[in-house]
Structure 1
Amino acid sequence: MADDTTIPNLDVPSPPPSNESSTSGDRPECFSSTLQECLFVLTATMSIGMSSFLYGICTVITASIGRTLNMTSAQITWINASSALTSGAFLLFFAKVADTFGRRSLLIFSMAAFSISSLIAGFATNPMYLDVFGGLLGLWSAAVVPPAVGILGAAYIVPSKRKNYAFACFSAGNPVGFVMGTIFSGIAAHLFNWRASFYLLSIIYVVFFVASVWTVPRTQQVTEKFTLKTLKRFDLFGILLSMTGIALFCSSLTIAGGAPQGWKTSYVLVLLLLGIALIAGFIGWEGFCKHPLMPLVTWRDRDFSLINIIVLLGFMSFSTSAFWLSLYMQNVLKYSALKVAIHLLPQAIGGILVNIIAGLVLHKVSSKILTGIGALSYLGSALLMANIKEGSSYWAFIFPALLLSVIGADLEFNVANMYVMSSLPPHQQSLAGGIFNTVIKICSAVGLGISASIYNAESTGTAALQTTLRPYKMVFWFCVASAGTSLLFVPFLKIGTQGHSAGTSVMSLEAEGKKGGGEKAVPDVGDRVVKE
């Protein structure tokens, strides 16, 4: 059984296994069969895409929810922003929990809790009810990501030709999860109503909960017990600073659009400034703390910092444009939820194809080139949507914009996931995933908050659902600015190809005092990054 299968203890750093012990095509020892391995990769992919699946489901039914529950534009934005907010605020906390107390049990429990919360959310009777459970769904989606990342990285510590394909599937979680969510939601809402979308989400993750019980291997041989000594190494103060700071900062951006005086409203400014101060305090504390929640040494790697910035700005454009494009289709073009889902179908098909290609070329083509292609695709997609006019052809504007957006998302996610998970040692793989996904969730919340303010500023009257084109165009121009800014950072990347044999880790290089040039290899996931 998979539950009894273990790999070497990852709670303490250890040298990578010798390449001589396995061939490049071997299945990782922690899986008893190829079926179990494939189901695990699928489960891990759906774990990383849990919040995006929810985001996609809500996106195509926001107009219906808003009309049923008499929601304002700010409350409609909170349907998605609440989950992004809680997810971003708690990711680092759950990453620490996973690395300290065990990944497998946290992943399985979070799957079950997410499914139950989704079921309850379907019975919402008012905006506050739905927004609160949206936050709970974001909380459980935050809890499931770090253990999924850690287990996947540990499972493929041995170099294997299967690794690139596993990581390609895994990287598809966020973008493909979003578009699949839109399709399933559109069908469910068409056959029944918007509540059925939440019921369907619950059913889907019940299935993956059952699958996870069998497929998820134990990648930590020894799990620490909860003791006073362990608690002292848990960086409770850092956890408090990070959660509170992120929550206040993102909340201020999200509520600004519906505040009486917008950004000039006193409580918006207080929340914004306090959030920034607490985040700054968290960063300062991490440099002082003996057992930091987020080791600052990770950010000394220039490529690690750059790839996070590029993905942050690019995904901000992707998630923001997707949300408002769906509302544009529902409110201006008067499409039903099912029709919206059908018109978003190219993203799902394109995402599958792009990830297949990424799995084939990631170890052959420079990651800098792939990242550049992704950033250009984001920019092209946003420009097409920003130039939509009344009566514009779907095939001339929206269709190519959807394809370009998913090319940008999937290429950048493949490159970033492989590199980010290579930047920390095996016993901190969950933390690596937590850092990367915190960046993604924060950018989603920030993008929705800023775009909601733009939408409200350009809206006519006080109606929550605008039927004129201008508010949406202005939001899309914000997406152009975000995507264009991400492109400016690409030339400074120095990442070559990824997915080769093992070498020396980034942190080991720092420990040994090696600076600049040479090869930056990553034994922790059996990968090597060739510096350009």
Structure 2
Amino acid sequence: MSDETGVSYASVTGRAVIGAAVLGSGMAMLDSTVVNVALKAIGAELDASLADLQWISNGYLLSLASLILIGGSLGDRFGRRKVFTIGVAGFAVASLLCGLAVNAQMLIAARVLQGVAGALLTPGSLAMIQGAFVPDDRPRAIGAWTGLGGVATAIGPFLGGWLVEYVSWRWVFLINLPIAVVTLIVARRVPETKNPDTVPGFDIVGAVLGTLGLAGITYALIELTSKPATAYVALAVGVLAAIGFVVNEARCPHPMMPLDLFRSKQFSGANIMTLLVYAALGAVLFFLVLQLQTVSGYAPLQAGMSTLPITAVMLLLSAQGGALAQKIGPRIPMTVGPLLCAAGVVLLSRVDENPNYILEVGLPLVVFGLGLAALVAPLTATVLAAAPDHQAGIASGINNAIARAGTLLSVAALPLIVGLSGDDYSVPSVFSAGYRNSMLICAGLLVAGGALAALTIRNPERTPTASATAA
């Protein structure tokens, strides 16, 4: 679809595009925020070990991070609506399998399938908006998509906690089925769009090697204590595949991750910072919700509601964080933001039995949220600005994949580093010590992210005003 035939924001079709995009991406966001709340209940019913709980979280992230770039390319080539709706339908089927899981292994396999489907629908939701609307209406449409998606993120912990406590953890997944049906009905009104300039061919070898690399390293980190021989083999396979991925991307005529983008110090610095910050963010939420239920005695609904300060601060202040960065440049917000997050995490490390919610949970989460609000918008803008205009979509996809890979690796590695395994997540005295150490490590990752931003991020040069030029 060309710009001349694009739809307007106020049209019925325009509202359908936004509705389908918000419902689809919101379903994926909802699932990612509620699963952590359900982990303890899942472990108790399915007799799952801590490694199983890590895989339930990481199986989804593994396939999503590995395939999200390919998912975006498929939409550009074959049609964004078509690939998006396939992803929505696949997500619904995988969610049904999650809800019907009879053991941890079946749930893990279904979560991997969810990630595959998520890799199709997640990039497609924004791409449909970008491709369907006339240029003048795109910023407004993207703003509506962002704001309404934030609502899904906000209600996720509350809804997940309520379902786990009063219905069943299985409905954390089964609730996706009616959402998917409504999404598919609305999507029928969405016009099909493609990218006429998309490159021929797909980097299938890169996708396979990238998946093997992440899977091998993740498996080794999670299973090292229980299956050391197999874990070392997996580690070797993962490292070799990761090396092969880099070699393939350097030689492939149409790579999924063009390495020439990383020649920019700004682009490389922003993406390494993304890896560090999102590694900390994912691990903090994984450990905090378990700590509140295992050690502090919170019910699932209380544990889910406890994380709302982060979402509230992000919804209220993210736009102002972006405006501030536009005014003063991204370097200071991207340096100070992670340090604020680190301060919040250090305060969270004190959570133990019978914590004072306001002082030991709520206030630290507000501080953490302030840091995220300061850094997220300028981080995204910096990544896009550091890439050529024709590679903006690829640059955004790379940053998205790196963020999810950071969470994947941290959730896999930190229990090993702090000495947690087996059923430790259900033993308060053991888990609490590991929780405290993991929080301090996350704080260190965030401090490293802030230091890296200070060293590598540069503010764009300002264009002289007319008065300054005259002077």
TM-score class normalised by the smaller sequence: 0.7 to 0.9
SS at match of 2:446: helix
Partner in structure 1 of residue 466 of structure 2: none
Structure 1 residue ranges, 4+ long, deviating more than 6 angstroms after superposition:
none
Instruction: Determine the C-alpha separation between the residues in 1 that align with 2:13 and 2:196.
Output: 23
Superposed CA offset, 1:149-178 (max 9, x none): 444555689477x738835953995x8755
1:235 aligned residue: 203
Partner of 1:323: 286
Partner deviation per Cα, 1:5-31 (whole Å, 9 max, x = no partner): 6427xxxxxxxxxxxxxxxxxxx9433
| Code of the aligned partner of 1:203 | P
- 1:177-228 CA-to-partner distances (Å, cap 9, x unmatched) read 55532221112223311112212233334333433443x554426498xxxx
2:29 matched to 1:62?
Answer: no
**Could you say what secondary structure the match of 2:3 adopts?**
coil
* 1:166 alignment partner in structure 2: 142
Kindly indicate whether residue 222 of structure 2 is the aligned counterpart of residue 254 of structure 1: yes
Aligned to 2:120: 143
Q: Which moved more, 1:86-95 or 1:42-51?
A: 42-51
- Counterpart selection for 2:194 from 220, 230, 255: 220
2:437 to 474, 477, 482: 474
Distance 1:183 1:6, change over 3 A: farther
- Opposite residue 146 of structure 2, the aligned amino acid is F
Q: Is the 8 A contact 2:321 2:375 kept in 1?
A: no
Q: Say whether residues 1:105 and 2:82 are aligned partners.
A: yes
The verdict on how the C-alpha distance between 1:51 and 1:421 changes in structure 2, with shifts beyond 3 A counting, is farther
For the structure 1 residues 462 and 344, does the alpha-carbon distance in structure 2 shift closer, same or farther, using more than 3 Å as the test? Answer: closer
C-alpha distance after superposition, 1:262-290 (max 9, x if no partner): xxx22212212321221122112222222
In structure 2, how many angstroms separate the alpha carbons of the residues matched to 1:364 and 1:79? 42
Q: How many residues align?
A: 461
SS of the residue 1:326 aligns to: helix
Q: CA deviation at 1:410?
A: 4.2
- Which residue number in structure 2 is paired with residue 522 of structure 1? none
Q: Are 2:25 and 2:125, in contact at CA under 8 Å, matched by a contact in 1?
A: yes
Structure-2 separation of matches of 1:318 and 1:184 = 21
1:123 aligns with 2:90: no
Task: Identify which range, 235-244 or 53-62, moves more after superposition.
Answer: 235-244
For residue 320 of structure 1, give the secondary structure of its aligned residue in structure 2.
Answer: helix
Using the size of structure 1 for normalisation, the TM-score is 0.77
- For residues 296 and 452 of structure 1, the distance between their equivalents in structure 2, rounded to whole angstroms, comes to 32
Structure 1 position 84 matched with structure 2 position 58:
no
C-alpha distance in 1, partners of 2:392/2:204? 20
Instruction: Name 2:469's counterpart in structure 1.
Output: none
* Secondary structure at 1:333 match in 2: coil
The Cα offsets for residues 84-106 of structure 1, whole Å up to 9 and x where unpaired, read as: 11111212322332333332211
Aligned to 1:191: 166
SS in 2 for 1:396: helix
Q: Deviation per CA, 1:477-506: give whole Å up to 9, x if none.
A: 221121111111111344547xxxxxxxxx
Distance 1:118 1:427 in 2: 36
Displacement after TM superposition at 1:390 (Å): 3.9
Q: Aligned pair 1:402/2:365, yes or no? A: yes
Contact 2:296–2:352 (Cα < 8 Å) also in 1:
no
Answer yes or no: is 1:488 the counterpart of 2:451.
yes
Please say which of residues 344-353 and 201-210 is displaced more in the overlay.
Answer: 201-210
Aligned to 1:526: none
CA contact (8 A) 2:220 2:235 kept: yes
Correspondence for 1:451: 414
Instruction: Please report how far the alpha carbon of residue 423 of structure 1 lies from its aligned counterpart in structure 2 after TM superposition.
Output: 5.2
Per-residue deviation at 1:401?
2.3
Paired with 2:59 and 2:398, the residues of 1 have a C-alpha distance of 19
Cα pair distance change 1:320/1:217, threshold 3 Å: farther
Q: Deviations over 1:403-423 (max 9, x none)?
A: 233333344332233343455
Whole-Å Cα distance in 2 between the matches of residues 202 and 351 of structure 1?
Answer: 28
Q: CA contact under 8 A between 1:242 and 1:279: conserved in structure 2?
A: yes
Match of 1:7 in 2: 3
**Alpha carbons 1:108, 1:212 under 8 Å: kept:** yes
Distance 1:330 1:354 in 2: 29
Q: Which residue of 2 aligns with 1:180?
A: 155
Greater shift, 103-112 or 37-46, is seen at 37-46
Report the more deviating stretch, 266-275 or 73-82: 266-275
- In structure 2, the residue corresponding to 1:68 is in which secondary structure? helix
Q: Partners in 1 of 2:286 and 2:79 — Cα distance?
A: 35
Alpha-carbon distance change, 102 to 254 in structure 1, aligned in 2, over 3 angstroms:
farther
Task: Write the deviation string for residues 448-501 of structure 1: whole angstroms up to 9, x where unpaired.
Answer: 01122135x157x9545121221211121221121111111111344547xxxx
Q: Secondary structure at the match of 1:60?
A: helix
Structure 2 unaligned blocks of 5 or more: 464-471
**1:496 to 1:275, Cα distance in 2 relative to 1, 3 A:** same
Distance of aligned partners of 1:356 and 1:211 in 2 relative to their CA distance in 1, 3 Å threshold: farther
Question: Whose helix fraction is larger, Structure 1's or Structure 2's?
Answer: 2
Instruction: Map residues 260-271 of structure 1 onto 2, 5 A cutoff.
Output: 260=227, 265-271=228-234
Closer/same/farther in 2, CA of residues 50 and 316 from structure 1, 3 Å limit: farther
Match of 2:48 among 52, 66, 71: 71
1:110 is displaced (CA, Å) by: 0.7
Match of 2:377 among 394, 407, 414: 414
Identity of paired residues, percent? 23
Q: Distance in 1 between matches of 2:29 and 2:223?
A: 22
The equivalences for 1:265-304 within 5 A come to 265-304=228-267
Q: Please, which moves more after superposition, 407-416 or 276-285?
A: 407-416
Report whether the alignment pairs 1:342 with 2:342. no
For 2:348, which of 385, 410, 413 is the aligned residue?
385
| Alpha-carbon distance in structure 1 between the residues aligned to 2:19 and 2:267 | 26
Seen in structure 2, the aligned counterparts of structure 1 residues 242 and 64 have a Cα distance that, compared at 3 Å, is same
1:66 is matched by which residue type in structure 2?
G
- Tell me, yes or no, if the aligned pair for 1:252 and 1:271 is still in contact at 8 Å: yes
How many Å separate the matches in 1 of 2:447 and 2:22?
Answer: 29
1:43 shift after superposition: 5.0
> 1:309, CA displacement in angstroms?
1.3
Deviations 1:15-56 (A, max 9, x none): xxxxxxxxxxxxx94335267556645654565565543232
What amino acid does structure 2 have at the position aligned with 1:181?
G
- Change over 3 Å in CA distance of 1:140–1:221 after alignment to 2: closer
SS at match of 1:290: coil
Question: Which residue of 156, 161, 185 maps to 1:210?
Answer: 185
SS at match of 1:245: helix
- Higher alpha-carbon deviation: 280-289 or 49-58: 49-58
What is the letter of the counterpart of residue 226 of structure 2? A
Assess if the C-alpha contact under 8 Å between 2:269 and 2:457 holds in 1.
no
The CA distance in 1 between the partners of 2:251 and 2:38, in whole Å, is 46
